[in-house]
Structure 1
Amino acid sequence: MPIKCQLMLESPVSINYDTYTDIVVAALEELNIEVSSIHNHADPKKAIEQADGIKVGGGNTFHLLNELYRLDILQLIKDKVNQGKPYIGWSAGSNITGLSIRTTNDMPIVEPPSFNALGLVPFQLNPHYTNYQAPGHNGETRAQRLLEFTMVDPHTPVVGIAEGTALFRQSDKLSLLGDKEAYLFCGDQQEIAIPVGSDLSHLLG
């Protein structure tokens, strides 16, 4: 029996929902995971209830969160995941697992009712984290932008996760998977390297 997952799509400009769904379906075909997109369901809440798991893809984080509020499924997803339903998110889909979307890299193309997100982990996330600065680029680095966040909210940790890495949570255990370091920002702690394989369970409080 294939594992049935619901895919929440939110990229409104760069690619249409059906094309995105086809890409994800093709990528997961060998894993025997049956993916359907929430945009094809007349009753999104029922679809989430009946799914074995939830996947949330990439795109614009502001638009994604706005859609979750518009469809009134933000709390439902949170409840189902807290009850044990698997959740996988990448890019914007990982951004919304934190307390809020205040540390996203995206432009605010829409204004959601709130920046508050799923809160599946009690800290902020910054996907696609990189400390690279192109020669001749005089704008802020990612680290400088996250420093700005920690200056106004010094008590909330931010974890920057690089390409090819993931945070894996199972109950009260949290670890870093992949082949690159992550970085922690919190108060006076700035860009503290987190080695691959680290146990980050202490960040769960």
Structure 2
Amino acid sequence: MSTLLLLSNSTSPGRPYLAHARDWIAEAVGDARRVAFVPYAAVTFAYDDYVARVREALDGLRLEIVGVHASADPAGVVAGADAVFVGGGNTFHLLREAYRHGLLDAIRQRVADGAPYVGWSAGSNLACPSVRTTNDMPIVEPPSLDALGLVPVQINPHYTDAHPPGHQGETRAQRLAEFVAANPESPVVGLPEGTAVRVADGRAGLLGEGAARVFDPQSPEGREAAPGEAEALFVR
């Protein structure tokens, strides 16, 4: 079974890009060398620049990181890769481009064949059954909100219960309570900054120091996950 590494975020305060996750990524990819990187969540900067940033961040891990956008056949790049990385940015833009380039089936197949999958933020949303628990604005319209379904549970990256003084809009917890009310069959795991989920060999584990929160019909406002509870949700 492939290893999945689903990161809440790519940058931690005071640390370089992906620095907090380098060891996790190295462990997840194992002996993989050729990485198909999907940069389509980027909207306000060039895909080439995104690839360069990831290469710089993971320099020393002996990975050949190839942007799928540079090929006339992005799905073919995925098919020929040892691992698949999907970066953060705008989830709706990522999903629209993934549909447009036939990447969903290609990634599912490659992961089914054993390739590790590493995603952060929008890339973690893409691994879920749908992208309906992203924090992003729907700046474009994908053909569907259905995503890869590599895990059987929804993720909310960058989870926080912060409520700034004077803010009269819904909190993150209230938004997720709306989701589980409308979709009681789909629990949501809120991953705070600096955390990740690793799924391998039929087991899942939470990485990092923050506590995940679980949203479901029994706890629509969210509860801190008991030991092993959030992890169990990620195993089919």
**TM bracket, shorter-chain basis:** over 0.9
Give the counterpart of 1:102 among 132, 142, 145. Answer: 132
Aligned counterparts of 2:200 and 2:217: Cα–Cα separation in 1? 27
1:201 partnered with 2:232 = yes
Distance 1:72 1:2, change over 3 A: closer
**Is the 1:103–1:125 contact (alpha carbons within 8 Å) kept by the matching residues of 2?**
yes
1:167 partnered with 2:188 = no
SS in 2 for 1:204: coil
Deviates more, 1:12-21 or 1:121-130: 12-21
**Is the 1:2–1:32 contact (alpha carbons within 8 Å) kept by the matching residues of 2?**
no
Name the residue aligned to 2:169: 139
Name the residue aligned to 2:180: 150
User: Which amino acid in 1 is paired with 2:178?
Assistant: E
Q: Residue deviations 1:66-123, cap 9 Å, x none?
A: 1111001201101211221100000100001111011111111111111000001111
Aligned counterparts of 2:122 and 2:233: Cα–Cα separation in 1? 24
Name the residue aligned to 1:178: 208
Q: How far did residue 11 of structure 1 move?
A: 3.4
Whose relative contact order is higher, 1 or 2, with alpha carbons under 8 Å and at least 6 apart?
2
Q: Which runs of 5+ in 2 are unaligned?
A: 1-30
Name the residue aligned to 2:68: 38
Identity of aligned residues (%): 46
Distance 1:6 1:37, change over 3 A: same
Name the residue aligned to 1:26: 56
For 1:18-97, list aligned pairs within 5 A: 18-97=48-127
Distance 1:15 1:197, change over 3 A: farther
Q: Which runs of 5+ in 1 are unaligned?
A: none
Q: Residue deviations 1:15-46, cap 9 Å, x none?
A: 21111111100000121111110111122122
Distance 1:195 1:32, change over 3 A: farther
**TM score, norm. by length of structure 1:** 0.94
Tell me which stretches of 4 or more aligned residues in structure 1 moved more than 2 Å: 11-14, 194-199, 201-205
Aligned counterparts of 1:116 and 1:148: Cα–Cα separation in 2? 19
Query: How much is the aligned-residue C-alpha RMSD, in angstroms?
Result: 1.8
Aligned counterparts of 1:58 and 1:181: Cα–Cα separation in 2? 21
Aligned counterparts of 2:32 and 2:90: Cα–Cα separation in 1? 30
Aligned counterparts of 2:32 and 2:106: Cα–Cα separation in 1? 23
**TM score, norm. by length of structure 2:** 0.82
Equivalences, count: 205
